[in-house]
Amino acid sequence: MIHRRHALRAAAALSLLALAPGRVLAAEPRTLRIGYQKSSTLIALLKQDGSLEKALEPLKVGLTWHEFTSGLPVMEALNAGQIDLSADVADTVPIFAQAANARITYVAQEAASPAAQAIVVGADSPIKAVADLKGRKVAVTKGAGSHYLLLAALKAEGIPFKAITPAYLTPADGRTALASGGVEAWVAWDPFLSAAELQSGARILKDGTGLSLYKRYYLASDEYAAKHGDILDIVFAKLRDTGTWVKANPDEAATRLGALWKLDPAIVAKANARRTYVVEPVTREGLSEQQTIADAFRAEGLLPRAVDASALGIWAPTKS
């Protein structure tokens, strides 16, 4: 009994010591797994310079990076619990994920950049207007923002989607198919778009101006957003600051990204000029075009069910 009392007193003393002023209990190690794609400019820069790891050190957060070919695979990994946070994905991507019952939350958005995606054709193509795409084979990445741009551009000309033959390809394969003649048009986004223009003379048929706002969204799993707001606060701040830096230092940003992406800095500079990189909180009102996108895909039978685009969770930073 005496030994038991001593043990209880010792335990109590340790508890008081741990909670005494000036003493902080050691935090449990946590992780943040980020999924990204080649066009994830701000995340690419943060990954390169290590500044996000440094900013998260006080929270004892371990950081890992996971690259994907496009937005939909990123969302699939997020929903499967393989990553915690997605780098920027096109506006269409959360819609497809939501239709697949993904449990995801909006974390941030990059303001509209409609000219950063476009329908392109070869330099010598006889196709002069969107109306000329009728009956043609067009490469597009399924579920990407470029997919909605194609739908919207065709609709504006009164052309149903079924009047073209879509070839669902990754950006790299789409460009190859256009160059080889396997398709007659390709819908691309930056930096793939600028690379095709400057390297192979691809000609823009129609960009997103007046058709698609082309916002890009950052998302987290519902569970991660609910439990780790302190981590997301730091990520949000670093994304916002990095976006500001890119626009204020276009030449240095192009040089750094060019080395990362193995692209001529001139290509990167052209691409970055068409992106706003303004990182903002997501608002319910700001998601209005998301419903338009969802309805357009549903009308074409490309979504398995109707989607209420406003139904996803929205995380808000403590300081915006």
Q: What is the pLDDT of residues 154-180, one digit of tens each?
A: 999 999 999 999 999 999 999 999 999
Residue 29 — pLDDT band, cuts 50, 70, 90? Answer: low
Alpha-carbon gap, residue 235 to 109, rounded angstroms: 12
Closest among 144, 315, 312, 319 to 240, alpha carbons compared: 319
Q: What is the pLDDT of residues 273-298, one digit of tens each?
A: 999 999 999 999 999 999 999 999 99
Residue range 117-207 forms a domain whose CATH class is: alpha beta
- Assigned fold of 31-112+215-314: D-Maltodextrin-Binding Protein; domain 2 (3.40.190)
The per-residue pLDDT for 320 is 63
Query: Fold match between 31-112+215-314 and 117-207?
Result: yes
The per-residue pLDDT for 20 is 37
Closest among 145, 116, 160 to 272, alpha carbons compared: 116
Q: Are residues 88 and 42 in contact, defined by beta-carbon separation less than 8 angstroms?
A: yes
Model-level pTM? 0.85
Residue 24 — pLDDT band, cuts 50, 70, 90? Answer: very low
Residue 5 — pLDDT band, cuts 50, 70, 90? Answer: very low
Please return the burial class of 250, using the count of CB atoms within 10 Å of its CB with bins 0-12, 13-18 and 19+.
Answer: middle
Residue 38 — pLDDT band, cuts 50, 70, 90? Answer: confident
Please return the burial class of 3, using the count of CB atoms within 10 Å of its CB with bins 0-12, 13-18 and 19+.
Answer: exposed
Residue 27 has pLDDT above 80, yes or no: no
Q: Are residues 234 and 55 in contact, defined by beta-carbon separation less than 8 angstroms?
A: yes
Q: What is the pLDDT of residues 184-205, one digit of tens each?
A: 999 999 999 999 999 999 999 9
Question: What ranges do the domains of the chain cover?
Answer: 31-112+215-314, 117-207
Q: What is the pLDDT of residues 42-72, one digit of tens each?
A: 999 999 999 999 999 999 999 999 999 888 8
